[in-house]
Chain A
Amino acid sequence: DIVMTQSPDSLAVSLGERATINCKSSQSVFYSSDNKNYLAWYQQKPGQPPKLLIYWASTRESGVPDRFSGSGAGTDFTLTISSLQADDVAVYYCQQYYNTPQTFGQGTKVEIK
């Protein structure tokens, strides 16, 4: 199985400031045949199911605010919230879908400082 490791486990950021979450995979999730990184990011708020934010490492899902962005390739990826809003308090997960079993990172809890 591909192991996904996120850092940090939690972070506290002031409103309007940048939040950065890292995700590292134990093997590359890049397919050269289609030039894509098989990596997604999800947001989960308390008491709610996860919500897709980013797929193909950097493609924003429809309706997701543009303050959310994804970057990276191969084994190292980043989710950035450019200007943290109160509504962004949640746990964020990366997931690889390069192969099955698909696997998630352990999650990063984002709070307001």
Chain B
Amino acid sequence: DTGVSQDPRHKITKRGQNVTFRCDPISEHNRLYWYRQTLGQGPEFLTYFQNEAQLEKSRLLSDRFSAERPKGSFSTLEIQRTEQGDSAMYLCASSPKRGSWGWIEQYFGPGTRLTVT
């Protein structure tokens, strides 16, 4: 059973460039979450999908950010015109539905560390 995978693990980019990250959830987990973690802080929720539908976006997700999950499997997170403040670890998590309990467990991937210079 493979866990959540993310690619790339590290990305260094220059300010103003676009970047795209990929997340592959655990098979058959129909929910997928994106979080952002800056140094010394806890992760912050960005957005989540149920199958291919994006159900909620945080106010943290500015117009420069877009996320997709086109076939309800892998997801991509794109940041356009990167800024130094975008430097962070971007974490993906997937979650299975546990009957009447709903989605109670989130399994996190290794993260993509973005550095904007």
Do they bind each other?
no
**Chain B interface residues toward A at CB < 8 A:** none
- Where the two chains meet, the residues of A that have a C-beta atom closer than 8 Å to any C-beta of B are none
